[in-house]
Structure 1
Amino acid sequence: MPDNFSDTGRESTVDYAALPGPGGRKSLIPPVDARWWTLKVALSQRPWSFIASAGMALSFLCNGITPVVVGRAVDDAIATSSLSRLGFWILVLGAVFVVAIAANWTARFMLVRSQQLVSHDLRTMVTDRIQDPRGFAGRERTAGGLLSIASSDTTRVGDIVMMTVMPVAEAAAITYGSIMMFTINPWLGLGTLIGGPALVVVALWVARPLQRRSVARQQAIAETAAMATDVVQGLRILKGLGAIVTVRRRYDAVSGNAYERTIHATAAEARLNGSTDVAGALFVATLGIATGWLALQGHVAIGELITVVGLTQFLVTPMTMLGRNLASRWASAEASGSRIREVLGADFERLSEVDAERADRVISSLPTGLTVVTGSDPEVIHRLESLPRTRVVVVPHSSDLFDGTVADNVHPDRAVAEQALRVASCDDIPEGPDKRIGENGRMLSGGQRQRVALARAIAADPEVVILQDPTTAVDSVTEQAIADAVALHRTGRRTLVFTEAPAWSAVADHVLDVADLAGPTTQLTPEAAR
């Protein structure tokens, strides 16, 4: 966890973008409060994205050169029946294909690499913020909603890198096509130069409903994914409460809303695609008819007519796609980007990490040995949780586990993990430390999950262990065995157990009321430090 925390805990000074990426690579994502954030994210992978732009532009230009080479071959070789010239133009065409393939491969490799790096950096920033122990202030955030932001939204924003590649290549193709048309006939070049931007304007105008509906679609899909995640996470509780039917009705409503929003957005996208295709076809037809009329008047040669026909077929794709990309992808990335920035810039709920001097004062004020704390005061727990994680481990009543083996969830050192599991009385788990537990320990019973979480805290061996009702899901015999083992293992070190269970009180060195801890924990606040 980064050390640059604010004193108040209400305003983030952690620059998650500055945290290192894979292999120590520095993230290039701009700060969340940066102006033109989405544009800067799109440009963050330069120069690699610029290499992709250049490669894709070269690939497009090679595709545009092909009809020019064919037209020249007709006039220079076919019309004169020259085999040598025909062989020359075939070699030229082959060289153009080789360059096009190499440029396209390089461009796509750099593009995908840049997209994946941006998505990875954003996912890392979002997950770091989600896992920050200080939590979120303000509105409640569900696990499903945060998962949607960390997965689908980061992927959409990563895709925005394409906007620095494809539009550049498409603009280069339109410019090249205009120049080649101008060499054949100035009016054809002028028509191409006007037609390209005109198609973009048409696409942007038609895409206005799509931009609005894309935002609504993303929000509805995110809500559906969030609810699905939350339902799966709490499935056992819902079954126990007999609330499956109620939840199903609510999910049907949310899912139906997402379906309707998707249909509306897809209809707008279909209109955009249809409009741009029709406009492009009309442009190609108009340009072809004009060129045919010029050929009949003797102003254009047969080879040049073939070149123009090939160029118009080549130009219709970049002309139509340029408007589509600008109209649809950018709006989608902006919507996802705003959700990501809202999470990264959210205020903290809890106190900041305290400095070493204050942490020393608080830890030294806690009694040595196993202390049972009776009563309930969430504020005291919150203040204790703000102590440095390297010195204090807080085990909540319901801890999260991860897919893997029991030993993997406890400690990377197998010997340390096995010893901690013995202290936590985990000997009855089938297959022992090698048992795979599934996501969040779903293949374990409630008592087994509690004990594995306790073993993880024991294995960490911090200065202070704070347990919150650690044995509510086990039988009384096992509870007493765990209390005895923990008290023995933690002899001489500070262990606080928030519980009313007699088994823990029987082995405790001290029994305190939660009010007795209110004094020491106030030292965690900046006001007390002053």
Structure 2
Amino acid sequence: MTTPDTTPDPPRPRKGSDILKTALRRNIGAMALGTLLMGLYQAGETAFPIALGMIVEHTMRDDRTLGALGLSIAALAVIITTVSLSWRFGMRVLQKANTTEAHRWRVRVAGCGLQPVARDVDLKSGEVLTIATEDADQTADIIEVVPLLVSSLVAVVVAAVALGLADLRLGLLVMVGTVAILSILSVMSKRIGSSTREQQARVARAGAKVADLISGLRPLHGFGGNHAAFRSYREVSAEAMHQSVTVARVNGVYAGTAQALNAVLAAAVTLTAGWLAFEGRITIGELVMAVGLAQFIMEPLKMFSEMPKYVMIARASAERMALVLAAPPVTDPGTGRPAAGGGLEVDCVRYGSLRELKFTVAPGEFVAIAGYQPRAVADLASILAVNVPPEAYEGVVRVSGQEIADLSVESVREHLLVNPYDGEIFAGTLRSNIDPSGTSGSVPEAVEASMLTDVVALHREGLDYAVRDRGANLSGGQRQRLSLARALAADTDVLVLHNPTTAVDAVTEQLIARNVAKFRRGRTTLVITSSPALLDTADRVLILSDGTITAENTHRNLLAHDEDYCAAVAR
């Protein structure tokens, strides 16, 4: 069984470099072990042509023996075994650390994306999704890049030393050539970094556009705006495609240049060794070693030359992650927790279209608000859902007698649930949508209260019926009832329902109104609605007009004495 990650989050990073430093510091142990093992691998690879050269040198001597030959073969076997095992276990260590680190950053970025009240990030959900997946993975690649860079350097140094022992000019040729190659490629890698950052931003914008299109597809079809929306996406997608082609072209030039430079260096070492052997300055065994090392050195040189590119990509991804992680808090929430079983109080709130809004829902009371202006209703729902920080509006909102500003966001949402009229439906099953945490003890009652029973009975799988992403295989009324069932199953002390029955027929609406009142009896409930059935079920009805409460009475009394109310809610 996998042990959960209990590593505490580091302080909020302000720059991409801070993220990379944190990743490196947090995985220093795994990187040290991985570097050691990969260094052994590269040293073994380097030792192989050296051993071959020594064997050839030995076979050309007059005093050669079978015992010495057997010892040489045994040495080759040890080298091959070392190469195989060190690569296997070294990559296992590094990839595990890489995957774990990527998971940590994904969770942290996702956590920021799910806390809009605590972060002010000028990014759409599609962009945050890309950052939490692709950018987190590419940032964590730094865990592998550094050990591979060091191990490649080990291979180059060992090869240079071995060649230098044969002839100093060969060793100097390798070192000087390596420095020249890296100097050229480091300049090119900067171009890759800037191109990659732009590509990631454009791909993320295209992803955000897709998310917006999917969520608004039905309304777009309704008024014929889908073609214009698709043209808009096509333009964004084309920009992302052109930038991806640019990045691919730059990467291709980089890879081709690196391969060509490595081949030139290998050829130079081979030709120089051949010339030295022809001149009699090195032996045949040393020539074999030099030719073998010239061929072998291309692999670590290739790896060594590719590392700057991956470092630049990791830096670009880390900078994008910092856009989310380093965003300043919108508000500094408190640490208190509301008492159980309390009520709800809105005291002289001014925000948007709300003007000195004041009302109280007593503990256990069922209250309905009939709003005449949709904007005022939306502003009230946003404030109660803590999507607006307390310092952004005048007045106070109290839960169980405590101001929201003094409470932690998590405790407010555990105690006060605001179910929006357009609640999101997730891919999964009916059961997982109703009870995402799997801890609710009132799922059957919530299904019955929301009149979702017909949907459950319609399918052989019942509550385990598969639901597609955004509820694509459900009707509008079924999605709304599923969202209502989820709100009821949460069984919070204070429940706010925002237009929970706009997509259902009148008969079903009447049944839902009675069921919700029965289900929520004894617990504080506020329904923002224009539904006569829900208004009639409420203990009190408050009229929200021009941003304030203008009247308060029962539904039937208001129908009898208030012409404006009668015109607004009568059907």
- Specify the TM-score bucket, using the shorter chain as the normaliser: 0.7 to 0.9
Partner residue of 1:426?
Answer: 452
Change (3 A) 1:85 1:78: farther
Query: How many angstroms does 1:366 deviate by?
Result: 2.3
Aligned to 1:207, the other structure's residue is in SS state helix
Q: Which amino acid aligns with 2:529?
A: T
Match for residue 356 of structure 2?
none
Q: Distance in 1 between matches of 2:549 and 2:326?
A: 33
**Aligned residue number for residue 497 of structure 2:** 467
Is residue 395 of structure 1 aligned with residue 414 of structure 2?
A: no
Correspondence list, 1:103-182, <5 A:
103-132=86-115, 134=117, 136-137=119-120, 139=122, 141-182=123-164
- Specify the alignment match of 1:496 in structure 2: 526
Contact 2:112–2:119 (CA<8 Å) still a contact in 1? Answer: no
Deviation at 1:467, TM superposition (A): 0.4
Residue 42 of structure 1: how far off its partner (Å): 3.5
Matches of 1:196 and 1:40, distance apart in 2? 30
Cα offset for 1:251?
2.2
User: 93-102 vs 431-440, which deviates more?
Assistant: 431-440
User: Structure 2 vs 1, CA of residues 30 and 113 (structure 1 numbering), >3 Å: closer, same or farther?
Assistant: farther
Establish whether residue 74 from structure 1 lines up as the match of residue 61 from structure 2: no
The residue type paired with residue 429 of structure 2 is T
Counterpart selection for 1:369 from 362, 365, 368: 365
Cα distance, 1:348 vs. partner?
A: 4.8
Corresponding residue of 2:355: none
From the superposition, tell whether residues 64 and 218 of structure 1 become closer, same or farther in structure 2 (CA, over 3 Å). Answer: same
Query: Against the structure 1 CA distance between its residues 93 and 223, is the aligned structure 2 distance closer, same or farther, given a 3 Å change threshold?
Result: same
Deviation at 1:460, TM superposition (A): 1.5
SS at match of 2:442: helix
Q: Secondary structure at 2:525's aligned position in 1?
A: strand
**What residue is the counterpart of 1:417 in the other structure?**
443
Change beyond 3 A, Cα 1:133–1:481: farther
CA contact (8 A) 1:71 1:307 kept: yes
1:125-162 deviation per Cα after TM superposition (whole angstroms, max 9, x unaligned): 011111125165364x3222221111111111122222
| Mapping of residues 160-239 of structure 1, within 5 Å | 160-239=142-221
Equivalent position to 1:341, from 317, 322, 328 = 322
Partners of 1:82 and 1:227 in 2: CA distance:
75
Q: Is the 8 A contact 1:374 1:512 kept in 2?
A: yes
Following the alignment from structure 1 to structure 2, what is the Cα–Cα distance between the partners of residues 179 and 59? Answer: 17
Whole-Å separation in 1 of the counterparts to 2:9 and 2:490? 34
Letter aligned with residue 31 of structure 1: R
Q: Distance in 2 between matches of 1:184 and 1:324?
A: 29
Post-superposition offset of 1:471: 0.5
Higher relative CO (CA 8 A, sep ≥ 6), structure 1 or 2?
Answer: 1
Deviation digits for residues 347-375 of structure 1 (CA, Å, limit 9, x no counterpart): 45578357336999863752232100122
CA contact (8 A) 2:30 2:93 kept: yes
Measured against aligned partners, the alpha-carbon deviations of 1:326-355 in whole angstroms (never above 9, x if no partner) come to 1x2122222221221111232455783573
1:83-131, Cα deviation, whole Å (9 max, x unpaired): 3322221111111111111100111111111111111011100111111
Structure 1 Cα separation of the partners of residues 331 and 318 of structure 2: 26
Moved more, 175-184 or 188-197: 188-197
1:96 maps onto 2:73 in alignment: no
Quote the offset at 1:377 in angstroms. 4.4
Residues 27 and 121, structure 1, Cα contact 8 Å, conserved in 2: no
Asked whether the equivalents of residues 62 and 96 of structure 1 are also in contact (C-alpha less than 8 Å), the reply is: yes
Q: How does 1:470-489 map to 2 (within 5 A)?
A: 470-489=500-519
Which region of structure 1 is more displaced relative to structure 2, 394-403 or 247-256? Answer: 247-256
Code of the aligned partner of 2:323: E
Pair 233,57 (structure 1): closer, same or farther in 2 beyond 3 Å: farther
Deviates more, 1:77-86 or 1:331-340: 77-86
Give the structure 2 partner of residue 268 of structure 1.
250
Shift of 1:428: 1.4
The structure-2 alpha-carbon separation of the partners of 1:374 and 1:138, relative to structure 1 and needing over 3 Å to count, comes to farther
Normalised to the residue count of structure 1, the TM-score between the two structures is 0.87
For residue 276 of structure 2, what is the amino acid of its counterpart? L
| Greater radius of gyration (CA) | 2
- The residue identity in structure 1 corresponding to 2:468 is G
Aligned equivalents of 1:290, 1:517: Cα separation in 2 = 93
Match of 1:383 in 2: 383
1:250 aligns with 2:245: no
AA partner of residue 368 (structure 2) = V
CA offsets, 1:277-330, max 9 Å, x none? 22222212222222222212222110111001111112122223323211x212
2-structure distance, mates of 1:428, 1:43: 56
**Identity rate, percent:** 26
Moved more, 396-405 or 363-372: 363-372
Q: In the alignment, what sits opposite 2:563?
A: none
CA contact (8 A) 2:341 2:493 kept: no
Q: Secondary structure at the match of 1:470?
A: coil
- CA 1:403–1:75: 2 relative to 1, 3 Å: same
Whole-Å separation in 1 of the counterparts to 2:3 and 2:530: 46
Letter in 2 for 1:83: L
- The aligned runs of 1:249-328 (5 Å cut-off) are 249-326=231-308, 328=309
The answer as to whether partners of 2:159 and 2:293 remain within 8 angstroms in 1 is yes
Deviates more, 1:473-482 or 1:331-340: 331-340
Higher strand share: 2
Secondary structure of 2:414's partner?
A: coil
Q: CA deviation at 1:513?
A: 3.3
Greater shift after overlay, 360-369 or 433-442?
A: 360-369
- Single out whichever of 355-364 and 53-62 deviates more from structure 2: 355-364
Structure 2 counterpart SS, 1:398: coil
Q: 2:472 aligns with which of 438, 442, 453?
A: 442
Instruction: Tell me the amino acid that sits aligned with residue 449 of structure 1.
Output: R
Q: CA–CA distance in 2 between the matches of 1:296 and 1:372? A: 99
Distance apart, 1:214 and its partner CA: 1.8
